[in-house]
């Protein structure tokens, strides 16, 4: 078991990060090449100013029509993404990892707070799942890929919480936690989670068209 542990936290971690980085670069570069080859009449209108303006406008909760239209979804989206980043980067166990593996030292969240944030992230996923199950306009367009992405995201949180609270065999839970996190990282470029890579560009493009061509706000 300990050798398995050192394998998943050692070589496998490097592989997961490798796939993530190479995969992300590949996806972004190939998408850009495709855009250059085929979407010239759109690329021509890309604008830093209007692109950034749109990104910033949509980072403000309840500013856009979309965020106003569904408060539960808005709160959940913002809270979930913030919780996700906080846990992934600043949880004290993770901070130790950054330090040990990359020699980067960053401040860590107080332990109890980190625990709460993990529960908040799980609750966020629960809201997403609730929407997919019960709101007709979401249920109708939900496909397996959407569920797969949601499960991929929630697993590291659940196993993490179990390991931390020592529910079930600790070492096994920790291994499962690391494994599920690695799976998540490696698959980001290749699943619906790729929105993490592309959303800035789609948003900036919409902002550029609305600001530069259509002279109207896109929020």
Partner 1 sequence: MSHIADRIISDVGLEAGVAGLTTEKIETVVNQMLKGETGAKLRAYKETCMRCGLCSQGCHYYMSHDQDPSYSPVNKATETMYELMEKKGKVEPQRIYEMAQMAYTECNLCKRCAHYCPIGIDTGYIMSMVRRICYLLDVVPQYIRDTAHSHSSTMNQMWVKDDEWIDSLQWQEDEARDEFPDLRIPLDKEGADIYYSVIAPEPKFRTQLIYQAAAIMNAAGCDWTMPSHPGWDNSDMCMFVGDFENMGRLKRAHYESAQKLRVKRIVMGECGHAFRSVYDMGNRWLGHKKMPVPVIHAIDFYWELIRDNKIKITHKYEKPVTIQDPCNIIRGRGLMDKLRDVVHFLCEEVVEMTPNREHNYCCCAGGGVINCGPPFKNTRMTGNRVKAEQLKATGVKDVVIPCHNCHGGIEDIIGYYDLGMHGKFIGDIIYELMEKPEL
Binding site for partner 1 (CB under 8 A): 31-32, 34-35, 37-39, 41-42, 44-45, 54, 58, 64-67, 69-70, 73, 77, 131-132, 135-143, 146, 192, 194-195, 198-199, 201-207, 209-210, 213-219
Least distance between partner 1 and beta carbon 209 (Å)? 8
Do residues 68 and 62 touch, judged by C-beta distance below 8 A? yes
Q: Which is nearer to partner 1, 17 or 190 (CB)?
A: 190
Cβ at position 13, least distance to partner 1 in Å: 27
**Nearer to partner 1 among residue 39 and residue 99 (C-beta):** 39
Residue closer to partner 1 (CB basis): 122 or 127: 127
Q: How far apart are alpha carbons 89 and 216 in whole angstroms? A: 37
Those residues with Cβ within 8 angstroms of residue 31's Cβ, 6 or more apart along the chain or in another chain: 198, 201
CB of 24 to partner 1, least distance (A): 13
Closest to partner 1 by CB, 7 vs 49, is 49
101 vs 202 by CB, closer to partner 1: 202
Q: Apex CA 87: angle with CA 81 and CA 88, to 5°? A: 85
**Length of the chain in terms of residues written:** 219
Least separation, in Å, of the C-beta of 25 and partner 1? Answer: 16
In the complex, least distance from residue 41 CB atom to partner 1, rounded to whole angstroms: 4
Report whether 26 contacts 34 (CB < 8 A): no
- For 142, the token pair is 């939900």
Minimum distance between the CB of residue 64 and partner 1, rounded to whole angstroms? 6
Give whichever of 165 and 195 is closer to partner 1, judged by the CB atom.
195
**Residue 168 zone, left/alpha/beta (φ > 0; ψ -120 to 50; rest):** left
Contacts of 146 (CB under 8 A, 6+ apart): 132, 192
Q: How many CA atoms lie within 13 A of 188 on its CB side?
A: 23
């Amino acid at each position: 078991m300990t050798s398995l542990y050192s394998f998943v936290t050692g070589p496998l971690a490097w592989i997961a990060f490798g796939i993530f980085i190479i995969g992300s670069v590949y996806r972004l570069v190939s998408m850009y090449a495709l855009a250059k080859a085929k979407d010239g009449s759109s690329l021509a209108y890309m604008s830093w100013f209007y692109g950034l303006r749109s990104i910033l406008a949509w980072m403000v909760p309840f500013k856009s029509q979309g965020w106003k239209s569904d408060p539960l979804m808005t709160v959940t989206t913002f809270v979930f993404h913030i919780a996700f980043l906080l846990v992934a980067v600043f949880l004290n166990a993770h901070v130790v990892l950054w330090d040990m593996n990359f020699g980067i030292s960053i401040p860590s969240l107080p332990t109890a707070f980190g625990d709460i944030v993990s529960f908040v992230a799980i609750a966020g996923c629960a809201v997403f799942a609730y929407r997919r199950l019960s709101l007709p306009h979401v249920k109708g367009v939900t496909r397996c890929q959407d569920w797969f992405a949601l499960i991929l995201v929630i697993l590291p949180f659940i196993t993490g919480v179990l390991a931390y609270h020592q529910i079930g065999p600790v070492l096994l839970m920790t291994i499962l936690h690391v494994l599920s996190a690695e799976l998540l990282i490696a698959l980001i470029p290749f699943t619906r989670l790729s929105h993490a890579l592309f959303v800035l560009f789609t948003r900036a493009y919409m902002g550029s068209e609305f600001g530069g061509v259509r002279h109207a706000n896109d929020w």
